[in-house]
Amino acid sequence: MKITGTRSYIVLDENGRKIKVKGEMIVGGFIADVSSMKKFEPPYENEVLTEGIKRDYIDKTIKKTTGTHMVITFE
């Protein structure tokens, strides 16, 4: 899982399949809006983004950032 982003969104990249998640940077982390996870970024935009896939990305992100200087939480 590779995580990049800005103050207003993050991109979760798992083996080239990227999901852009809107949110807000705060001191010590980022609050991500689960409802903004709608589709994969190109060239995978036509693949179905299921609730199970979303949960997998969320779980991996939380696991990777827990205990770091940039904790990502999902609401």
Q: Which domain holds residue 24?
A: 2-74
Question: C-alpha distances in angstroms, 7 versus 12, 24, 68?
Answer: 14, 6, 17
- Do the bridges between strand 9-14 and strand 17-26 make them parallel or antiparallel, or are there none, so unpaired? antiparallel
What's the average model confidence in pLDDT over 37-58? 98
The tally of domains found in the chain comes to 1
What's the average model confidence in pLDDT over 58-62? 98
pLDDT confidence of residue 23: 99
Distance CA 29, CA 73 (A): 8
pLDDT confidence of residue 24: 98
β-partners of residue 71 are 29
The reported pTM is 0.94
| Alpha helix stretches (DSSP H) within 1-75 | 51-65
β-partners of residue 42 are none
AA letter at 73 = T
pLDDT confidence of residue 50: 98
